[in-house]
A and B are shown apart, each in its own frame.
Chain A
Amino acid sequence: MKRSNEPIFWSLFGAGGMLAALIGPALVFITGIAVPFGFVFSPDTMSYAHMLAFSQSWAGKVFVLAVIALFLWHAAHRIHILLHDFGVHAVTAVRVLCYGGAFAGTVIAAYTLLMIKA
């Protein structure tokens, strides 16, 4: 029987899922609620200067890329399954759409981060 290629996607899915499960709620709270509406954190936590500095450090770059890309791969894998569960069986098209999207997002994020120079 043919060895499945799932491990590639599943590993990314798993890494993204784990990251989301561990720190997802905190991230959403910070970036989507607390900072924009100014409680708990000072409003300039996510100011341009702060964020630029963060993205200029290598650690920051890795972190931002990890969050965006892994979340995308995690989601792509599940949405792929979801469509299959709903009975959408255009396998190749669905694959291209889901994983292609995650791939594009990863490339854009990586490119942008590389362009942000110190």
Chain B
Amino acid sequence: MSNRRPYVRSMDGWWKRDPYFIRYMAREVTAVFVALYAIVLLFGLVRLGQGEAAFNGWLQYLKTPWMLVFHLIVLAVFCYHTWSWFNIMPKTMPIIFMGGKRLQPGTITGTGLAASVVACLAVLFIVRGMS
């Protein structure tokens, strides 16, 4: 009979063990806010379908302080999402050579973040132009 008795440690509370894990969990938790924001928009859409009065009610609701606080948090979370999204981007791409040199992770992240800034500005300008 073998004397082996390998000891398996518990995973309880693993996300608290390392700051890296806390950052990872923060990234994942952003999803909750993305969902909430999408639900707010979905409500607006449904209200829009129900007619002017209903839609205006939704618009009024957006003006409450609670919703302001909510949207400020959501804005911060979205910015974190953008940052973390492009931060892991290099991990999701095959090795790319440009002019014989390997594309560096920093370049990829930087390009992504720049693209996001451009896209956001474009949205802002288009919406301003439409109104």
Contact = CB atoms under 8 A, between A and B. Distances in A.
Do A and B interact? Answer: yes
Contacts of A36: 59, 62-63, 67-68
Contacts, number: 160
A45 B52 contact: no
A95 interface: no
B74 interface: yes
A11 interface: no
Q: Assign chain A's interface to a size class.
A: 35 or more
B42 to A, nearest CB: 5
Contact of A81 (B28, B71, B75, B130): B28
B41 interface: yes
A67 B34 contact: no
Interface stretch (B1-9, B99-107, B118-126): B118-126
Given A67-B38, A71-B38, A78-B34, 12 more contacts: A28-B37, A32-B68, A33-B71, A33-B72, A36-B63, A40-B128, A68-B42, A71-B34, A72-B38, A75-B38, A76-B31, A105-B38
Interface of B: 11-12, 15, 25, 28-32, 34-35, 37-42, 44-46, 48-49, 52, 55-56, 59, 62-63, 67-68, 70-72, 74-75, 78-79, 81-82, 85-86, 112, 115-116, 119-121, 123-124, 127-128, 130-131
